Chain A
Amino acid sequence: MNRQEMRRIYTPEPLLRHPVAMMREIADDMWAGRELAWRLFLRDLRAGYRQTLLGYVWAFLPPLVAAATFIFLQSQGITRIEVVGISYAAFALMGTLLWQIFVDALTSPSASFGAAKAMLVKITFPREAVLVGGLYMVIFNALIRMVLIAAVMILWNIPVGPTLAFLPVALFGLLAAGFALGLFITPISALYGDAARAIPIVAGFWMLLTPVVYPPQMSGIAGWLATWNPVSPLIVTARECLTGQTLTMLGPFFVVAAASLLLILVGLIGFRIAMPHLIERMGG
């Protein structure tokens, strides 16, 4: 390998002082770690379900249970959520499955960072690979859930429209938003255990504030949330793609997706800056 390439200089100087050099380093490491990321993903994939009886069922059990709760409430007349066009059960199942993709992407960076802790504190390697490997896992799980969604659509005879072609973009938006947010949580959760405890609680509550098991509302706080909750346009758009409806929130969707991409970039920079400080505090 080129000697010049292999020169590494460590100083206390803030990395941000040379933003261009830093961006190049991130890109280099991303490239250098591409194989490692894939390998870490394969490892987690093989190992993840090897010691379970139900295997991949665990990938979609949480959203199924969440959906079942609301389907039960609705069927007993406890909630009266009005859904146009399709059965409520299909609506709720699609919602929770899509929501789970977002939550997965959200928890992935801090989870994979925590799992790789022993490695991170001891050896030098392209650290971004840990995040990318985790992201592969999220995508893989998302694809499994899409199989389930397809089953739901066949079961309830949901008509497919031309908007289905937009689904990959919609899913990408969900992943990007979750991942961006997850990147910002990672340094905090590496330092303070509070974050890991708070995430499931916040995520559970957040789901209720998002049109997941109910359609976007027009008035009241729920109406305000449908507009200003950044996940709303993502979930709504993705579901509209599936049910063949016209995409009503395309504008906000693109704003959120673009902002997410920008935040991912910022998040990666922050991750790199925070890394040595985190490792210092994580011991090893």
Chain B
Amino acid sequence: MHPELVTRNSSLSTQSDEVLVRVEGVSKKFCRSLKKSLWYGVCDIAGELNPFAKHGERGMDHRGGSAESGSISPATIYPPPATHAAIAEARDKDLRDGEFYAVRDVSFELRRGECLGLIGHNGAGKTTLLKILNGLIKPDRGRIEMNGRVGALIALGAGFNPILTGRENIYINGSVLGLSKKEIDEKIDEIIEFAEIGDFIDMPVQNYSSGMSVRLGCSIASSLSPDVLILDEVLAVGDTSFVIKCLNRVRTLSARAAVILVSHNMQSVSSFCTRVILMDHGCVMIDAPNSSEAIDRYFEMVPHTTHETGSREAVIESILLEGGGRLSHGSTGRLELKFSISSSVEAALITIYIADETMMPLVCMPVKNEHGDFLRCKPGTHKLFISLGSIDVVPGKYSLIVSFIEESSKRVLLRSQGLTEFRVFSEKVHSGKIMRPATARMESR
């Protein structure tokens, strides 16, 4: 995503007391085995159809009963961790064989103008929670109240028929999303224009490139003006300029709506969201109005891994980053690197990169000597004391990549990723990847 175009939307929006999404103690069970899951499905349907069946074992929760009569319940209560665990344990008893909780005891409230970021690792239950919020599947426990029109940028182009033209598909897709023919007639020119499809609109959708169908789907879905907007990693696709356009559209929509955003991109979460919930194994780990706290925890949960490639004619014996993995923004990074070069190598050159949490290199630093020439390393064991200069990457989680290349043949001797994971801290939240001041000389009359 493109954080430079995103500002915290709280400044734009009109936050009100109007609660659009109310989630109270929602849990959802899932079954790992397909055969069992299908059979449980049969049992659940039969159980619901049988008016005499006892529904106690499904764990009916009447906490939300009062809200049905129209009264607004007080602020959502989060059980302290101890009771949380106790409840979880007690309720595990009503899991059937092979089942587990995909979502467990999730509660929150969302008002108009708020944007909630749902983060967590794969399988944490984010998408399942969205499906419950969207009314696709029923919760096994708890209560959900959705007020107003719900729009979801999840399945872009759902219902597209490949044989029909783009124009025909706009009518179908719009209709699926709840627009009437009249409304589509009014919006169709705008939709086509926004999708930047041009003459292709009267061509069958099967001839579209994947980017074009995503654009068309996004254009249709974002032409609605929902009260509750659900976004699930949709903006990860499409080309750059369109993503920016879409993002701006979403930002306009989100000023008037309650937004729930699922993303693995922490920068868009921190710049978009007014509140972040971190989920793990179906439970809410943190529900914080300050996104950085939740994002910190999210990064801590990532298992640290290193990857090595190359001929292994160079071996890193030890690597130490001064500051114990926690650096403040703007400080000078110092690195101690001990390595050995095999005798088959004539001379090796070293390059160090700072990579972000997706292992994408951000800063490339060829290692040079004090005269500004490339440092040539002969076979043997060496220890280097390297200054990385000022750490000007924005707060986040980073790691180093060290690569050894033979000088003449350009052969990769070793490329080691994910070394000495470290965090960069700062008082402020910055957009962009690198933050350093620009100096100006002012001439005034």
On A, residues with C-beta under 8 Å from B are 1, 3, 6-16, 32, 35-36, 39-40, 43, 46-47, 50-51, 116, 118-119, 121-125, 187, 191-192, 270, 273-274, 276-281
Are B158's CB and A119's CB within 8 A? yes
On B, residues with C-beta under 8 Å from A are 30, 37-38, 41-42, 44-45, 47-49, 51, 53, 55, 58-61, 64, 68, 131-132, 134-150, 152, 154-155, 158-159, 161, 163-164, 168, 171-172, 175-178, 180-181, 227
When A124-B134, A279-B136 are in contact, do A11 and B42 touch as well, CB less than 8 Å?
no
Report how far A225 CA is from B152 CA in the complex, Å: 52
> Which of A1, A119, A273, A280 is the one whose CB lies under 8 Å from B48?
A273
Q: How far is the CB of B260 from chain A (nearest CB, A)?
A: 14
Q: How far is the CB of A25 from chain B (nearest CB, A)?
A: 11
- Cβ contacts under 8 Å, B55 to chain A: 12-14
Q: How far is the CB of A48 from chain B (nearest CB, A)?
A: 9
Excluding A43-B168, A276-B138, 4 further A-B contacts by CB distance (< 8 Å) are A3-B147, A12-B141, A13-B55, A16-B48
Are B176's CB and A123's CB within 8 A? yes
Top 3 nearest A-B pairs (CB, nearest first) are A122-B155, A276-B138, A10-B144
- Can you pick out 5 interface pairs between chain A and chain B where the beta carbons lie within 8 Å of each other? A6-B147, A39-B172, A43-B164, A280-B138, A281-B37
Q: How far is the CB of B393 from chain A (nearest CB, A)?
A: 37
**Number of CB contacts from chain A to chain B under 8 A:** 140
Residue of A nearest to B35 (CB): A192
Are A123's CB and B134's CB within 8 A? yes
Are B148's CB and A3's CB within 8 A? yes
Report how far A50 CA is from B164 CA in the complex, Å: 9
- Cβ contacts under 8 Å, A51 to chain B: 163
> Which of B137, B148, B161 is the one whose CB lies under 8 Å from A43?
B161
> Which of A7, A40, A47, A123 is the one whose CB lies under 8 Å from B145?
A7
- Cβ contacts under 8 Å, A119 to chain B: 155, 158-159, 176
Are B148's CB and A187's CB within 8 A? no
Are B135's CB and A10's CB within 8 A? yes
Report how far A7 CA is from B149 CA in the complex, Å: 8
- Cβ contacts under 8 Å, B59 to chain A: 12
Residue of B nearest to A191 (CB): B38
Report how far A281 CA is from B60 CA in the complex, Å: 21
- Cβ contacts under 8 Å, A11 to chain B: 61, 64, 138-139, 142-144
Report how far A12 CA is from B142 CA in the complex, Å: 7
Q: How far is the CB of A275 from chain B (nearest CB, A)?
A: 9
Report how far A281 CA is from B42 CA in the complex, Å: 10
Report how far A281 CA is from B28 CA in the complex, Å: 13
Q: How far is the CB of A33 from chain B (nearest CB, A)?
A: 9
Residue of B nearest to A1 (CB): B149
- Cβ contacts under 8 Å, A123 to chain B: 134, 136, 152, 154-155, 158, 176-177
**Residue with the highest number of chain B CB atoms closer than 10 Å, among A6, A51, A277:** A277
Report how far A15 CA is from B53 CA in the complex, Å: 13
Report how far A16 CA is from B142 CA in the complex, Å: 18
Q: How far is the CB of B1 from chain A (nearest CB, A)?
A: 22
Report how far A20 CA is from B217 CA in the complex, Å: 37
When A123-B154, A281-B38 are in contact, do A6 and B171 touch as well, CB less than 8 Å?
no
- Cβ contacts under 8 Å, B68 to chain A: 9
Are B140's CB and A12's CB within 8 A? yes
**Residue with the highest number of chain B CB atoms closer than 10 Å, among A1, A12, A191:** A12
- Cβ contacts under 8 Å, B154 to chain A: 122-123
Report how far A280 CA is from B47 CA in the complex, Å: 16
Are B148's CB and A6's CB within 8 A? yes
Are A9's CB and B164's CB within 8 A? no
Are A118's CB and B38's CB within 8 A? no
Q: How far is the CB of B37 from chain A (nearest CB, A)?
A: 6
